[in-house]
Amino acid sequence: MLSRVADSLYWMSRYLERAENTVRQLDVTMNLMLDTGGASAGSRWQQLIAALGNPEGCEWNGNLEEMAGRLVFDALGHASITYCVNAARENARQVREEISTEQWQRLNRLYHQMHSAQVQSQFRASINDALASVVDGIHLFKGVTDTTMIHGQGWQFIRLGRYLERAYAIATLLEVYQAELFSPHEREHSGYQYLEQVGLLRCCTAFEAYCQVYTADLTADRILEFLLLNRDFPHAIRYCVDGVRQAVEAIQRTGGRRPPDELTAGIGRLHAMLGYTTISEILAGDTAAFLHSIREQCLRIHELMYRYYIHYSIQSALSI
Amino acid sequence: MSAGHPAELETLFGDYPLDSAFDEMREPGGDVRSHYRALAETLARLPQAELERCKQSAELSFLTQGITFTVYGREEGTERIFPYDLLPRIITAEEWDRIERGLTQRITALNLFLRDVYFDAKILTDRVVPSELVYSCKHYRRQMRGLQVPRNVYIAVVGSDLLRLNTGEFVVLEDNLRVPSGVSYMLTNRRVMKRTFPQLFHSYGVRPIEHYPQLLLATLRSLAPEGRPEPNIVLLTPGVYNSAYFEHTYLARQMGIDLVEGRDLVTHDNVVYMRTTDGLKRVDVIYRRVDDDFSDPLIFRSDSALGCTGLFNAYRAGNVTVTNAFGTGLADDKALYAYVPDIIRYYLNEDPILPNVKTFLMSDENERKHVLANLENLVVKAVGESGGYGMLIGPHSTAQQREEFARQIEANPRNYIAQPTLDFSRAPCLIGNHLEPRHVDLRPYVLFGDKVNIVPGGLTRVALEKGSLVVNSSQGGGSKDTWVLE
C-alpha cells in the first residue's frame, strides 16, 4: 500500500475518533452543568478543555452557548467537531479509491450535515439531539468501514489510528479528572458525586458496561481500574493498546516487512504495563505520572510507526 | 403510432423552437423521431411532480457520491456537481457504426503520423504536412525523436469531440490526444439513469458501456514493457486540487490500481518506484493524467512539483511505459487538425469516414485576410488551448473583442485558426418543468492498445445556457447519458 494512502487512512480514522470524543465530552459536560451543586461553569469548562488537550481559542468567556458553538462549528479551531470532520473527509477524499463507496457516502453525508443550513438551528433547538446525530453519523461510518471495506492493510491502518487516538484521549481524560475522583469536595448531597462519576464513565460510553462488571456501586478505584485495565471493553486503554498491537502485527503480516525492534518493543512495553499492573499498584504509586507515561508512550509509538511506514528515507529503503 | 397523447406532449414541449439546427428528438416538421418516441410517451405520461422528484433525487445522488468537479479560485464551496440532464441522448445503431469506423480510422492514422514524425518524418519530406507547422508546435517534443514506444502506440486513450451538423452528419471538432477527461461522468450518468428510468431503459435495448474500466486496464496492460508479465500499473494524478480528481479516483478504484501522485514516485537507476508501507515497489505502466509540461521537472518544466524527477529517463530506457506518450499534443494542435484528412489518406489510403470542420489557417495569407474580414461570422481558437479557453465566438463577440483578436492574429498567425460558426445539433433538456432544446456535442472514448476499443456511447455535453454554444464544464456546461441502441 502506498505510504501516502496509509497516512491518509490513519488520519481519517484519528480525526473521526477525535470528533467523537469531543462530542461525547461536550455532551456530558453540558449535562453536568444543569445540576447547580457542583463546580462552577467556568471551572467545568476549563476541565473539559484540558481533557481535550488544551486547544487554543476555547478559553471560557461566560457564555456557554457561544463556547459550545465554537467547539462544534469553529472550522479553524483544531479541537472543534467541524474541524475534525472536515479533516477526516479531506483525508478520505485523497484516498477515495481506497475506501468503499459506502464509506465515502457516509462520511460525505456527515460532512454535508455539519455544513448544512439547518444544523445551526437544530443545534440551538436541542444541542443533545444535534450531538447525538453527529455521533450516529460517526458510528454508521465505523459500521460500514467494518462491513464494506476489505480487511487488508488499509483497514488495519484505520484501526491503528482509531485505537491510538482513543488510548491517548482516555489517558488525557483520566489525567485531568483523577485527582478530583479521589479527593471529592465535601458536599451536602452525595448525589452530586454520583453524577460526576457517571459523567466520567459516560465520557467513555462506559457507564452501562461498568455496571455489568461491578454493579452500580461506583467507587473511584473501580472506575479507574475499569477504564484503564479492562481487557474486554473497547473504551478501556488496555483494550485499545491491544488493538494497536494487533493492527501493527497484521500490517506486518500483510506486508511482509518486519517492523523495527523499537516499534515492537514500544508497543509490547505499553501492552505489558497495562496487562501486568494491578490497580492497587497504580494507586500506591504516582497515578498522574502513570497516566502521563501512557500518553508519552502513545506519542512514541506514533513517531516510530511514522518513521518506519510513512516517512522513511529512500536510501534506507534501497539498501534493503 | 402517434407520439403519445398529443395534449400532454404539447404541454411538455410548450413553445419548443425548431429551426435550421438539427434537433436530436424532433424532425423539422415537429414529429418526434421514431427512436425517441418511447421516451416522449413516457415523459408525457409522467406527472410534473414526478419529473421534478426524479431530477432532485438524481442531483442528490451525485452530491452524496461526491461526484463533483473543482472550480478554481474560490475558497468556499469549490466543489460543484456537474449538472446532469435527466433525458438521454439517443443514437441509432447505424449512426454509431459510422462513428465507430470513423474514429478507429482516425486514431490509427494519428498514431502512424506520430510514429513517422518522431522517426523518419516521411510525411514532412513528401510535403503532405508542412514541416514548419510541426516544428513550431509547442507540443512537439524534441526529446521523443527516435524513442521507441511500446507497440508504436503513442495515443492509447482518446476522447474526440464530435458535433452533428444540420445535415444530420457527425463531424470531428477536436481530437483530444493528451489527457482527455469526462469518462467517469459517462459511467456515473449511466448508473444514475438506470436508477431513474429503469423500465424505459430496459425497453430500449441500450448497449452497455460499464466495462470501460476493464478495457482501459487491458489496454494499459498490453503496453507494459517487455519482460514484465505482471505489470504494476498506476494512475498518476496531479492531486486532489485538480478539477478532474474525482475521475482519477474513480478510474483507479474501478480498475483496482494504485492512484499515485508525483510525490509517491522515486526513480533510481532509471527505474520508477513508488513508496509503499512495504518499501519501494517497481512501477511498470503509468496512465498519466498530468500534462507533459508537469511530468518531469528534469526534462520539462523545472518549476513543476506534480511530476516525478527522472521519469523521462526511465521512460527512455524502456523501463516504464507512460501513456499517452509524451509529445502527442502535437497531433491535436488545432492547426494540424486541418491536415488530419490528408494524414488519413497518406497513411491508410482511404477517405476519411468522419469529416473535419472547415478550418482556416492563419499562417496562410489568403485565408487570414478572409478571416480578418469576416470575424463576426467565425469562431477563432488559439491552437494550443482546450477547455473552451482562448476562444472568440464571432456572432457573440463585441467589436472590442474582435479587434483584440485581430491584433493577436496579426502578431502571431501560427497561434490561431478560424472555423465557421457551426449550427450544431440540439437535444431536448428538462428546463424547469418543460422541454427546451440545447446545443449538444458528443465525446466518445477510444482506446488503442493491442486493438482499438470504443465503448458504444460517450459523454454528451450540453450547453445549458439558452443559445450558448459552449459545452465545457468549466463554462456552464452539463451532461446527459448517451444511449446507443442495439
Tell me: do B265 and B369 sit in the same domain: no
Inter-chain touch A109–B64, beta carbons under 8 Å? yes
Q: Structurally, how many domains does chain A consist of?
A: 2
The rounded Cα B393 to chain-centroid distance in angstroms is: 20
Interface of B with A in 229-258 (CB under 8 A): 239-240, 245-246, 249-250, 252-253, 258
Mean model confidence pLDDT for chain A: 90
CA distance A34 to chain B (A): 37
Cβ–Cβ contact B263 with A under 8 A: yes
| CB proximity list for A139: less than 8 A, separation 6 or greater | none
Query: Sorting pLDDT into bands at 50, 70 and 90, what band is A37?
Result: low
Domain that holds residue B47: 6-90+184-205+423-484
Both A99 and A162 in one domain: the answer is no
B410 and B284 housed in the same domain:
no
B251 and B191 housed in the same domain: no
All residues at 6 or more sequence positions from A239 whose CB lies less than 8 Å from its CB, including other chains: A230, A231, A232, A233
d(CA B240, CA B235): 13
How many domains are there within chain B? 3
Model ipTM? 0.80
Judging by DSSP bridges, how do beta strands B170-174 and B161-164 pair with one another? antiparallel
The pLDDT score that the predictor gives to residue A186 is: 54
Q: Tell me if chain B has a CB within 8 Å of the CB of A1.
A: yes
Q: What's the full length of chain B, in residues?
A: 486
Distances (CA, A) of A316 to A307, A313, B174, B279, B435: 11, 5, 48, 9, 64
Q: Are A124 and A222 in the same domain?
A: no
B276–A97 C-beta distance less than 8 A: no
CB A47 within 8 A of CB A177: yes
Q: What sign does the CA torsion over B408, B410, B414, B418 have?
A: positive
Could you tell me if residue B156 is inside a domain?
yes
Q: Are residues A99 and A52 in the same domain?
A: yes
- B141-150, B347-356, B383-392: lowest mean pLDDT where? B383-392
Same domain, A124 and A64: yes
Could you give the percent of chain B with pLDDT greater than 90? Answer: 59
> Does B195 lie at the interface with A, CB-CB under 8 angstroms?
no
Cross-chain CB nearest to A251 (options B274, B275, B277) = B277
Considering only the beta carbons, identify the residue of A1, A93, A98 that sits closest to B276: A1
Given CB atoms, is B76 within the 8 Å cutoff of chain A? no
pLDDT at B427: 94
pLDDT, tens digit (0-9, with 9 covering 90-100), for A59-95: 888 888 888 888 998 877 777 999 999 999 999 988 8
Give the number of other Cβ atoms within 10 Å of residue A6's Cβ. Answer: 27
Task: List the single residue in A with minimal CA-CA distance to B64.
Answer: A105
* pLDDT confidence of residue B1: 39
**Whether B165 contacts B171, CB under 8 Å:** yes
Examine residue B80 and state whether it is found in any structural domain, yes or no: yes
- pLDDT score at B4: 42
Q: A46: which residues sit within 8 A by CB, 6+ positions away?
A: A60
Same domain, B341 and B376: no
Same structural domain, A223 and A253? yes
Residues A80 and A200 in one domain: no
**Would you call B95 helix, strand, or coil by DSSP?**
helix
Q: Tell me: do A8 and A21 sit in the same domain.
A: yes
B261 touches chain A (CB under 8 A): yes
Q: Which of A148, A173, A192 is the last residue of a domain?
A: A148
Asked whether residue B133 falls in the same domain as residue B268, the answer is yes
- What's the number of CA atoms in the CB half-sphere (13 Å) around residue A126? 6
Q: pLDDT for A219-228, tens place per residue? A: 999 999 999 9
CB atoms A93 and B261 under 8 Å:
no
CA distance B103 to B444: 9
pLDDT at B76 over 50: no
Closest approach of A296 to chain B, Cα-based (Å): 24
Per-residue model confidence as pLDDT tens digits over A151-166 = 999 999 999 999 999 9
Question: Does residue A138 share a domain with residue A158?
Answer: no
Q: Do B280 and A317 touch (CB under 8 A)?
A: yes
Q: Please tell me the predicted confidence (pLDDT) of residue B73.
A: 43
- Helix/strand/coil (H/E/C) assignment for every residue in A99-135: CCHHHHHHHHHHHHHHCCCHHHHHHHHCHHHHHHHHH
The parent domain of residue A301 ranges over 151-320
DSSP string covering B250-269? HHHHHHT-EEE-GGGEEEET
